[in-house]
Amino acid sequence: MPKDRLDDLFRKLEKHDWAENRKTAEALAELGQGAFSHLLNALKSEDGYVRNGAAVALGKIGNKEATPALLQALRWRDERIYEDDEDSEARVSAARALGALRDGAACTALINLLEEGSVREGNLKSYIIDALGEIGDTSAIPTLARMTEDQNSETQLSACAALGKMGSEGTEILLKLARDKVRRARQCATRVLGTSRSRPAVPTLLAVLEDPADEERVRCEAARALGRIGLSPEILPALREALNGSSENIRSAALMGLGYSRDVAAYEAIIQRISDTRFRYVAVMALGELGDVRACELLKDMLNHKDSSLRFHAATAIGKIGCADAMAALVELRAQLAASSSPLSGAEMTSIDATIRMLERKADK
Protein backbone atom coordinates (compact mmCIF):
# COMPACT_ATOMS: atom_id res chain seq x y z
CA MET A 1 0.00 0.00 0.00
CA PRO A 2 1.58 3.33 -1.05
CA LYS A 3 2.54 5.31 2.04
CA ASP A 4 1.39 8.62 0.55
CA ARG A 5 -2.11 7.17 0.07
CA LEU A 6 -2.30 6.14 3.74
CA ASP A 7 -0.83 9.44 4.91
CA ASP A 8 -3.46 11.30 2.91
CA LEU A 9 -6.29 9.32 4.50
CA PHE A 10 -5.01 9.78 8.02
CA ARG A 11 -4.65 13.52 7.42
CA LYS A 12 -8.33 13.54 6.47
CA LEU A 13 -9.18 11.97 9.85
CA GLU A 14 -7.52 14.99 11.47
CA LYS A 15 -9.84 17.46 9.73
CA HIS A 16 -12.37 17.32 12.58
CA ASP A 17 -15.29 16.92 10.21
CA TRP A 18 -17.67 14.08 11.05
CA ALA A 19 -18.89 13.54 7.48
CA GLU A 20 -15.28 13.38 6.28
CA ASN A 21 -14.41 11.10 9.18
CA ARG A 22 -17.06 8.54 8.24
CA LYS A 23 -16.12 8.61 4.55
CA THR A 24 -12.41 8.24 5.34
CA ALA A 25 -13.07 5.36 7.74
CA GLU A 26 -14.89 3.56 4.92
CA ALA A 27 -11.93 4.14 2.58
CA LEU A 28 -9.46 2.82 5.17
CA ALA A 29 -11.64 -0.26 5.75
CA GLU A 30 -11.60 -0.98 2.02
CA LEU A 31 -7.79 -1.12 2.17
CA GLY A 32 -8.14 -4.02 4.59
CA GLN A 33 -4.98 -5.59 5.95
CA GLY A 34 -2.88 -3.06 4.09
CA ALA A 35 -4.04 -0.43 6.57
CA PHE A 36 -4.38 -2.69 9.62
CA SER A 37 -1.16 -1.94 11.51
CA HIS A 38 -1.49 1.78 10.82
CA LEU A 39 -5.02 1.75 12.22
CA LEU A 40 -3.81 0.04 15.40
CA ASN A 41 -1.32 2.85 15.87
CA ALA A 42 -4.03 5.43 15.18
CA LEU A 43 -6.00 4.09 18.15
CA LYS A 44 -3.26 5.55 20.36
CA SER A 45 -3.68 9.06 18.97
CA GLU A 46 -4.57 11.89 21.34
CA ASP A 47 -6.93 13.14 18.61
CA GLY A 48 -10.39 11.70 19.25
CA TYR A 49 -11.36 12.07 15.59
CA VAL A 50 -8.41 9.91 14.56
CA ARG A 51 -9.24 7.26 17.17
CA ASN A 52 -12.87 7.29 16.05
CA GLY A 53 -12.08 6.75 12.38
CA ALA A 54 -9.59 4.02 13.19
CA ALA A 55 -12.09 2.18 15.40
CA VAL A 56 -14.80 2.34 12.74
CA ALA A 57 -12.42 1.01 10.07
CA LEU A 58 -11.13 -1.82 12.27
CA GLY A 59 -14.65 -2.96 13.04
CA LYS A 60 -15.36 -3.20 9.32
CA ILE A 61 -12.09 -5.01 8.52
CA GLY A 62 -12.98 -7.70 11.05
CA ASN A 63 -9.54 -8.85 12.19
CA LYS A 64 -9.82 -10.08 15.79
CA GLU A 65 -6.19 -9.18 16.39
CA ALA A 66 -7.49 -5.64 16.87
CA THR A 67 -9.33 -6.63 20.07
CA PRO A 68 -6.65 -5.58 22.62
CA ALA A 69 -6.11 -2.20 20.96
CA LEU A 70 -9.86 -1.57 20.76
CA LEU A 71 -10.29 -2.44 24.43
CA GLN A 72 -7.55 0.06 25.26
CA ALA A 73 -9.31 2.70 23.15
CA LEU A 74 -12.56 1.91 24.91
CA ARG A 75 -10.92 2.66 28.26
CA TRP A 76 -9.29 5.89 27.03
CA ARG A 77 -8.95 8.54 29.72
CA ASP A 78 -7.08 11.85 29.66
CA GLU A 79 -7.43 15.40 30.91
CA ARG A 80 -7.91 17.07 27.54
CA ILE A 81 -11.01 19.10 26.66
CA TYR A 82 -12.94 17.66 23.71
CA GLU A 83 -15.16 20.42 22.36
CA ASP A 84 -16.92 18.18 19.80
CA ASP A 85 -17.30 15.25 22.21
CA GLU A 86 -14.99 13.29 19.91
CA ASP A 87 -13.51 11.37 22.84
CA SER A 88 -16.91 9.92 23.69
CA GLU A 89 -17.60 9.16 20.01
CA ALA A 90 -14.28 7.33 19.70
CA ARG A 91 -15.08 5.16 22.72
CA VAL A 92 -18.53 4.35 21.35
CA SER A 93 -16.98 3.39 18.00
CA ALA A 94 -14.49 1.14 19.79
CA ALA A 95 -17.37 -0.64 21.57
CA ARG A 96 -19.25 -1.05 18.29
CA ALA A 97 -16.14 -2.42 16.61
CA LEU A 98 -15.68 -4.99 19.39
CA GLY A 99 -19.25 -6.12 18.83
CA ALA A 100 -18.61 -6.42 15.10
CA LEU A 101 -15.50 -8.56 15.74
CA ARG A 102 -17.50 -10.98 17.96
CA ASP A 103 -14.29 -11.98 19.73
CA GLY A 104 -14.97 -13.97 22.89
CA ALA A 105 -11.62 -12.80 24.23
CA ALA A 106 -13.17 -9.36 24.82
CA CYS A 107 -16.04 -10.65 26.94
CA THR A 108 -14.40 -10.56 30.38
CA ALA A 109 -13.00 -7.07 29.85
CA LEU A 110 -16.39 -5.75 28.74
CA ILE A 111 -18.13 -7.35 31.71
CA ASN A 112 -15.56 -5.81 34.07
CA LEU A 113 -16.16 -2.36 32.59
CA LEU A 114 -19.85 -2.65 33.40
CA GLU A 115 -19.38 -4.22 36.81
CA GLU A 116 -16.77 -1.77 38.07
CA GLY A 117 -19.09 1.14 37.36
CA SER A 118 -16.45 3.25 35.61
CA VAL A 119 -18.69 3.77 32.56
CA ARG A 120 -21.22 6.41 33.46
CA GLU A 121 -22.30 7.63 30.02
CA GLY A 122 -25.61 5.92 29.25
CA ASN A 123 -25.04 5.63 25.52
CA LEU A 124 -21.55 4.12 25.91
CA LYS A 125 -22.85 1.64 28.46
CA SER A 126 -25.53 0.60 25.96
CA TYR A 127 -22.95 0.02 23.22
CA ILE A 128 -20.82 -2.11 25.53
CA ILE A 129 -23.92 -4.18 26.32
CA ASP A 130 -24.70 -4.41 22.60
CA ALA A 131 -21.18 -5.74 22.02
CA LEU A 132 -21.71 -8.45 24.63
CA GLY A 133 -24.93 -9.41 22.87
CA GLU A 134 -23.11 -9.71 19.54
CA ILE A 135 -20.35 -11.81 21.10
CA GLY A 136 -22.98 -14.10 22.60
CA ASP A 137 -20.92 -15.51 25.48
CA THR A 138 -23.37 -16.73 28.14
CA SER A 139 -20.94 -15.80 30.91
CA ALA A 140 -22.27 -12.25 30.42
CA ILE A 141 -25.84 -13.22 31.39
CA PRO A 142 -25.64 -12.34 35.14
CA THR A 143 -24.23 -8.90 34.32
CA LEU A 144 -26.81 -8.32 31.60
CA ALA A 145 -29.58 -9.30 34.00
CA ARG A 146 -28.35 -6.68 36.46
CA MET A 147 -28.19 -4.10 33.69
CA THR A 148 -31.95 -4.51 33.12
CA GLU A 149 -32.38 -2.73 36.47
CA ASP A 150 -30.34 0.30 35.40
CA GLN A 151 -31.99 3.70 35.80
CA ASN A 152 -31.40 4.51 32.12
CA SER A 153 -34.16 3.15 29.85
CA GLU A 154 -31.78 2.79 26.87
CA THR A 155 -29.47 0.66 29.01
CA GLN A 156 -32.42 -1.49 30.03
CA LEU A 157 -33.43 -1.99 26.41
CA SER A 158 -29.88 -2.86 25.34
CA ALA A 159 -29.59 -5.38 28.17
CA CYS A 160 -32.88 -7.03 27.21
CA ALA A 161 -31.85 -7.13 23.53
CA ALA A 162 -28.53 -8.73 24.47
CA LEU A 163 -30.29 -11.32 26.63
CA GLY A 164 -32.48 -12.10 23.64
CA LYS A 165 -29.34 -13.24 21.81
CA MET A 166 -28.23 -15.56 24.61
CA GLY A 167 -30.37 -18.57 23.81
CA SER A 168 -32.73 -20.26 26.25
CA GLU A 169 -30.99 -18.90 29.37
CA GLY A 170 -31.46 -15.34 28.21
CA THR A 171 -35.04 -16.00 27.13
CA GLU A 172 -35.92 -17.37 30.56
CA ILE A 173 -34.75 -14.14 32.22
CA LEU A 174 -36.81 -12.09 29.76
CA LEU A 175 -39.87 -14.21 30.51
CA LYS A 176 -39.45 -13.63 34.25
CA LEU A 177 -39.17 -9.90 33.61
CA ALA A 178 -42.30 -9.90 31.44
CA ARG A 179 -44.28 -11.66 34.17
CA ASP A 180 -43.07 -9.46 37.04
CA LYS A 181 -45.33 -6.41 37.25
CA VAL A 182 -42.96 -4.41 39.44
CA ARG A 183 -39.84 -4.65 37.25
CA ARG A 184 -38.75 -1.52 35.37
CA ALA A 185 -37.53 -3.45 32.32
CA ARG A 186 -40.81 -5.28 31.82
CA GLN A 187 -41.86 -3.33 28.73
CA CYS A 188 -38.55 -3.75 26.89
CA ALA A 189 -38.36 -7.44 27.86
CA THR A 190 -41.79 -7.92 26.30
CA ARG A 191 -40.66 -6.11 23.15
CA VAL A 192 -37.51 -8.21 22.79
CA LEU A 193 -39.43 -11.46 23.19
CA GLY A 194 -41.23 -10.39 20.03
CA THR A 195 -38.25 -9.18 18.02
CA SER A 196 -36.36 -12.37 18.87
CA ARG A 197 -39.46 -14.35 17.82
CA SER A 198 -39.40 -16.48 20.94
CA ARG A 199 -42.09 -19.12 20.58
CA PRO A 200 -41.86 -20.18 24.27
CA ALA A 201 -42.97 -16.63 25.12
CA VAL A 202 -46.43 -17.02 23.56
CA PRO A 203 -48.32 -18.12 26.72
CA THR A 204 -46.76 -15.31 28.77
CA LEU A 205 -47.49 -12.67 26.12
CA LEU A 206 -51.07 -13.87 25.67
CA ALA A 207 -51.59 -13.65 29.44
CA VAL A 208 -50.29 -10.07 29.45
CA LEU A 209 -52.38 -8.97 26.46
CA GLU A 210 -55.58 -10.53 27.78
CA ASP A 211 -55.31 -9.12 31.32
CA PRO A 212 -57.39 -5.90 31.43
CA ALA A 213 -55.81 -4.95 34.75
CA ASP A 214 -52.28 -5.03 33.38
CA GLU A 215 -50.38 -1.90 32.37
CA GLU A 216 -51.55 -0.61 29.01
CA ARG A 217 -48.11 0.08 27.50
CA VAL A 218 -46.96 -3.45 28.35
CA ARG A 219 -50.12 -4.93 26.84
CA CYS A 220 -49.41 -2.92 23.67
CA GLU A 221 -45.90 -4.37 23.50
CA ALA A 222 -47.35 -7.84 24.01
CA ALA A 223 -49.72 -7.36 21.05
CA ARG A 224 -46.91 -6.28 18.75
CA ALA A 225 -44.63 -9.03 20.06
CA LEU A 226 -47.23 -11.73 19.43
CA GLY A 227 -47.59 -10.52 15.85
CA ARG A 228 -43.84 -10.73 15.29
CA ILE A 229 -43.77 -14.29 16.61
CA GLY A 230 -46.80 -15.29 14.54
CA LEU A 231 -46.31 -19.04 14.90
CA SER A 232 -49.13 -20.12 17.18
CA PRO A 233 -52.78 -20.73 16.21
CA GLU A 234 -53.74 -18.82 19.39
CA ILE A 235 -52.17 -15.55 18.27
CA LEU A 236 -54.46 -14.42 15.46
CA PRO A 237 -57.71 -14.87 17.46
CA ALA A 238 -56.17 -13.00 20.41
CA LEU A 239 -55.15 -10.05 18.25
CA ARG A 240 -58.55 -9.95 16.58
CA GLU A 241 -60.18 -9.90 20.00
CA ALA A 242 -57.89 -7.04 21.09
CA LEU A 243 -59.19 -5.01 18.12
CA ASN A 244 -62.55 -4.85 19.90
CA GLY A 245 -61.23 -3.61 23.24
CA SER A 246 -61.92 -0.23 24.81
CA SER A 247 -58.35 1.07 24.61
CA GLU A 248 -57.45 2.78 21.34
CA ASN A 249 -53.75 2.27 22.04
CA ILE A 250 -54.17 -1.48 22.42
CA ARG A 251 -56.36 -1.63 19.32
CA SER A 252 -53.64 0.17 17.35
CA ALA A 253 -51.00 -2.20 18.72
CA ALA A 254 -53.17 -5.19 17.79
CA LEU A 255 -53.47 -3.83 14.24
CA MET A 256 -49.68 -3.63 13.95
CA GLY A 257 -49.43 -7.09 15.46
CA LEU A 258 -51.70 -8.42 12.71
CA GLY A 259 -49.46 -6.78 10.13
CA TYR A 260 -46.26 -8.15 11.67
CA SER A 261 -47.76 -11.64 11.61
CA ARG A 262 -47.58 -11.74 7.80
CA ASP A 263 -50.55 -14.12 8.03
CA VAL A 264 -52.84 -13.67 5.01
CA ALA A 265 -55.78 -14.49 7.28
CA ALA A 266 -55.24 -11.11 8.97
CA TYR A 267 -55.90 -9.13 5.77
CA GLU A 268 -59.65 -8.63 6.16
CA ALA A 269 -59.35 -7.60 9.82
CA ILE A 270 -56.86 -4.87 8.85
CA ILE A 271 -58.84 -3.68 5.82
CA GLN A 272 -61.93 -3.18 7.97
CA ARG A 273 -60.09 -0.48 9.95
CA ILE A 274 -59.14 1.63 6.94
CA SER A 275 -62.43 3.55 7.05
CA ASP A 276 -61.95 4.48 10.73
CA THR A 277 -60.00 7.75 10.79
CA ARG A 278 -58.63 6.91 14.25
CA PHE A 279 -56.80 3.87 12.89
CA ARG A 280 -56.37 4.61 9.19
CA TYR A 281 -52.64 5.38 9.26
CA VAL A 282 -51.89 2.39 11.50
CA ALA A 283 -53.93 0.11 9.24
CA VAL A 284 -51.97 1.28 6.19
CA MET A 285 -48.67 0.65 8.01
CA ALA A 286 -49.97 -2.79 9.02
CA LEU A 287 -50.77 -3.58 5.38
CA GLY A 288 -47.18 -2.75 4.48
CA GLU A 289 -45.89 -5.12 7.14
CA LEU A 290 -48.37 -7.84 6.13
CA GLY A 291 -47.03 -7.83 2.57
CA ASP A 292 -50.25 -9.03 0.95
CA VAL A 293 -50.43 -7.94 -2.71
CA ARG A 294 -54.21 -7.70 -2.47
CA ALA A 295 -53.64 -4.31 -0.83
CA CYS A 296 -51.78 -2.85 -3.84
CA GLU A 297 -54.76 -1.38 -5.68
CA LEU A 298 -56.17 0.19 -2.53
CA LEU A 299 -52.80 1.71 -1.61
CA LYS A 300 -52.22 2.97 -5.15
CA ASP A 301 -55.55 4.85 -5.00
CA MET A 302 -54.40 6.51 -1.78
CA LEU A 303 -51.56 8.20 -3.65
CA ASN A 304 -54.20 10.58 -5.02
CA HIS A 305 -55.63 11.42 -1.59
CA LYS A 306 -55.54 15.04 -0.38
CA ASP A 307 -54.14 13.88 2.99
CA SER A 308 -50.35 14.07 2.62
CA SER A 309 -49.77 11.84 5.67
CA LEU A 310 -51.96 9.14 4.16
CA ARG A 311 -50.05 9.41 0.87
CA PHE A 312 -46.78 9.12 2.78
CA HIS A 313 -47.85 5.97 4.62
CA ALA A 314 -49.35 4.45 1.47
CA ALA A 315 -46.14 5.02 -0.50
CA THR A 316 -44.09 3.39 2.25
CA ALA A 317 -46.44 0.39 2.36
CA ILE A 318 -46.31 0.04 -1.43
CA GLY A 319 -42.53 -0.23 -1.26
CA LYS A 320 -42.61 -2.86 1.46
CA ILE A 321 -45.15 -4.99 -0.40
CA GLY A 322 -43.52 -4.49 -3.79
CA CYS A 323 -46.52 -3.18 -5.74
CA ALA A 324 -44.87 -2.88 -9.16
CA ASP A 325 -48.07 -1.57 -10.78
CA ALA A 326 -47.85 1.54 -8.61
CA MET A 327 -44.60 2.77 -10.19
CA ALA A 328 -46.27 5.07 -12.73
CA ALA A 329 -48.51 6.62 -10.07
CA LEU A 330 -45.51 7.20 -7.81
CA VAL A 331 -43.54 8.91 -10.58
CA GLU A 332 -46.52 11.13 -11.40
CA LEU A 333 -47.04 12.07 -7.73
CA ARG A 334 -43.36 12.90 -7.37
CA ALA A 335 -43.54 15.24 -10.36
CA GLN A 336 -46.55 16.99 -8.82
CA LEU A 337 -44.75 17.43 -5.52
CA ALA A 338 -41.62 18.75 -7.25
CA ALA A 339 -43.73 21.53 -8.73
CA SER A 340 -45.39 22.29 -5.39
CA SER A 341 -44.37 25.07 -3.03
CA SER A 342 -45.59 23.19 0.05
CA PRO A 343 -42.97 22.95 2.82
CA LEU A 344 -44.00 19.31 3.33
CA SER A 345 -43.42 18.26 -0.27
CA GLY A 346 -39.68 17.70 0.23
CA ALA A 347 -40.21 15.13 2.96
CA GLU A 348 -42.89 13.37 0.94
CA MET A 349 -40.65 13.27 -2.15
CA THR A 350 -37.91 11.66 -0.05
CA SER A 351 -40.35 8.94 0.95
CA ILE A 352 -41.48 8.40 -2.64
CA ASP A 353 -37.87 8.27 -3.87
CA ALA A 354 -37.13 5.57 -1.30
CA THR A 355 -40.19 3.60 -2.43
CA ILE A 356 -39.22 3.88 -6.11
CA ARG A 357 -35.71 2.60 -5.32
CA MET A 358 -37.21 -0.26 -3.34
CA LEU A 359 -39.47 -1.27 -6.23
CA GLU A 360 -36.56 -1.05 -8.66
CA ARG A 361 -34.47 -3.35 -6.45
CA LYS A 362 -37.33 -5.84 -6.20
CA ALA A 363 -37.75 -5.76 -10.00
CA ASP A 364 -34.04 -6.51 -10.50
CA LYS A 365 -34.15 -9.64 -8.38
- Dihedral of CA 240/243/246/250: which sign? positive
Give the rounded percent of residues in the chain with a pLDDT score beyond 70.
99
**What is the radius of gyration, based on Cα positions, of the chain?**
24
> For 160-174, how does the pLDDT look when each residue is reduced to its tens digit (9 = 90+)?
999 999 999 999 999
Alpha carbons 258 and 52: distance in angstroms, whole number: 42
Full set of structural domains in the chain with CATH: 1-101 (1.25.10.10), 199-290 (1.25.10.10), 295-365 (1.25.10)
pTM of this prediction?
0.90
Q: How many CA atoms lie within 13 A of 180 on its CB side?
A: 15
Alpha carbons 343 and 351: distance in angstroms, whole number: 14
> For 171-224, how does the pLDDT look when each residue is reduced to its tens digit (9 = 90+)?
999 999 999 999 889 999 999 999 999 999 999 999 999 999 999 999 999 999
Residue 64, number of CB atoms within 10 A of its CB: 14
137 membership: H or E segment, kind and range = none
Alpha carbons 318 and 128: distance in angstroms, whole number: 37
- Whose CA is closest to 297, among 312, 277, 318, 276? 318
Residue 267 contacts by C-beta under 8 Å, 6 or more apart in sequence?
290, 292, 294, 295
Residue 183, number of CB atoms within 10 A of its CB: 15
Alpha carbons 248 and 330: distance in angstroms, whole number: 32
Name the least confident of 5-9, 238-242, 266-270, 303-307.
Answer: 5-9
CB 254 within 8 A of CB 279: no
pLDDT class of 78 with cuts at 50, 70, 90: confident
pLDDT, residue 258, reads 98
pLDDT, residue 364, reads 85
Helices in 151-307 by DSSP H: which ranges? 153-163, 167-179, 186-195, 202-209, 216-229, 235-242, 248-261, 267-271, 280-290, 296-302
Alpha carbons 221 and 185: distance in angstroms, whole number: 12
- What is the overall mean pLDDT for the chain? 94
pLDDT class of 1 with cuts at 50, 70, 90: low
CB 256 within 8 A of CB 269: no
Task: List Cα–Cα distances, 147 to 122, 144, 166, 266, in angstroms.
Answer: 11, 5, 15, 37
360 membership: H or E segment, kind and range = helix 345-364
